[in-house]
Structure 1
Amino acid sequence: MYQPDKLKERRKALKLTQKDIAEKLGISYQAYSAWERGVKEPSTEKVSHYFTEELAHDFASWVSGDSMEPKYHNGSVALIRETGFDYDGAVYAVVCNSQTYIKRVYREAEGLRLVYINPKYKDIFISYDEDPRVVGIIVGNFMPLED
């Protein structure tokens, strides 16, 4: 199902104007504007130009909440490459107590410190006694065009 609001969200996430997108796609500004207004529907071929890079990933996870904004938005999908812990400060998916966290991770003597990008949240500390598992590094993310 086509959702014009998702198309508009993606354009804004890319920090582009309607005119910018129209030029990149080789269509008129009016045609693109009609897509965002829901008057006309774009072809799959045209929409695929929004995603021009293939990212090697093993699985994906929905992002829930605003704790990692502005980089990872609520309702977006994070792409995860299965790895161990490589270095402090990278964004990883961490599982602990049946909860998955997507946060900047720092290894400390007694556990993992999970750091939010959004400054309104405080860090989380997970002791090694709680058996946290670094699932993998986040290699990309996107806002889906359809639910």
Structure 2
Amino acid sequence: MFSPESLKKRRTELKISQADMARKLDISRQSYFTWESGKTKPNSHNIEKLADILGVSTGYFESEHRIVETYLKLNDINRVKVEEYAEELLTVQEESKVVQLYSIKVIDDVELSAGLGESIYDEADTVEVLSDTDYQYDIATWIKGNSMEPTYVSGEVALIREGGFDYDGAVYAVVWNERAYIKKVYLEEDGYRLVSLNPDYSDMFAYAEDNPRIVGKIIGHFMPVVGG
């Protein structure tokens, strides 16, 4: 990454003004100023010209140059110390990261057929779980069983956007014969064909006369964050 600090440092060491640098580069002073202020960065051609004017390598302007240059001057023992210290700093940095978590209210121990899509779910018992992503959804419910593995894993939360059938092959929450399913759905003449992703499960057919109901499309799924 281009380092404007390195550019300014070298220019001032050589006692060259910004105006003189701009003239040598055949650009405006304002353009040169934006390089040193970090608002823009020179292209590779201009970096080569800068290196020639300032008597340095093109790598000099990389932000990592100073660290690498210092490291290469160390003996083997001190290089090991630097590497160990850098690892310690990285560990502390990773442990101190603050990850924003979002609350998701998941319908708990309630069959989808008990009211999803009929606004009864608003009164159902819910359990709060945490996610590291701020999802936009209408209903959240648990995924149970392995019929939709490997994509949808038991224990994950399924996020549903309420609505009817949209197109073949999408994954929907479906209520049929007092049971709830998360399946790929295909509309056929006599009803819906419900397809599992797990090849160990056979397709099911929800006949129209049984009044199967599409609760909504699955728009996302995640494993809750533990220990948030």
Q: TM-score, normalised by structure 1?
A: 0.66
1:104-143 superposed matches below 5 A: 104-143=184-223
Say what the alpha-carbon RMSD is for the aligned residues.
2.7
- Structure 2 counterpart SS, 1:46: coil
Cα 1:31–1:80 change in 2 (3 A) is same
Q: Percent identity at matched positions? A: 50
Residue matched to 1:51 = 132
1:66 deviates by 0.6
- d(CA) in 2 for partners of 1:101, 1:143: 19
Q: Which structure shows the higher strand fraction?
A: 1
Give 1:20-99 correspondences, 5 Å limit. 28=91, 45-46=98-99, 48=101, 51-52=132-133, 54-99=134-179
Separation (CA, whole Å) in 2 of partners of 1:27 and 1:117: 40
User: How far did 1:47 drift?
Assistant: 6.5
Letter in 2 for 1:46: V
What SS does the corresponding residue of 1:75 show, helix, strand or coil? coil
1:28 corresponds to which letter in structure 2? T
Question: Residue type of the partner of 1:58?
Answer: D
Question: Which protein is bigger by CA-based radius of gyration?
Answer: 2
Mapped to 2, the partners of 1:120 and 1:94 lie a distance apart of 20
Distance in structure 2 (CA, Å) of the matches to 1:107 and 1:118: 20
**Structure 1 residues 46, 95: CA separation in 2 closer, same or farther (over 3 Å shift)?**
same
The 4+ residue runs of structure 1 with deviation greater than 3 A are 29-32, 47-50
1:31–1:116 CA distance, 2 compared to 1 (3 A)? same
Any stretches of 5+ residues in structure 2 without a counterpart?
1-88, 103-130
Counterpart-to-counterpart distance in 2, 1:71 and 1:27: 33
For 2:162 and 2:219, the matched residues in 1 are separated by 10
Contact 2:132 2:225 in 1 (8 A): no
Per-residue deviation, 1:55: 2.6
Gaps of 5+ in 1: 1-25, 33-41
User: In the alignment, is the contact (CA less than 8 A) between 2:173 and 2:180 conserved in 1?
Assistant: yes
Structure 2 length-normalised TM: 0.44
Choose between structure 1 and 2: higher helix proportion.
2
**Superposed counterparts of 1:7-18, under 5 Å:** none
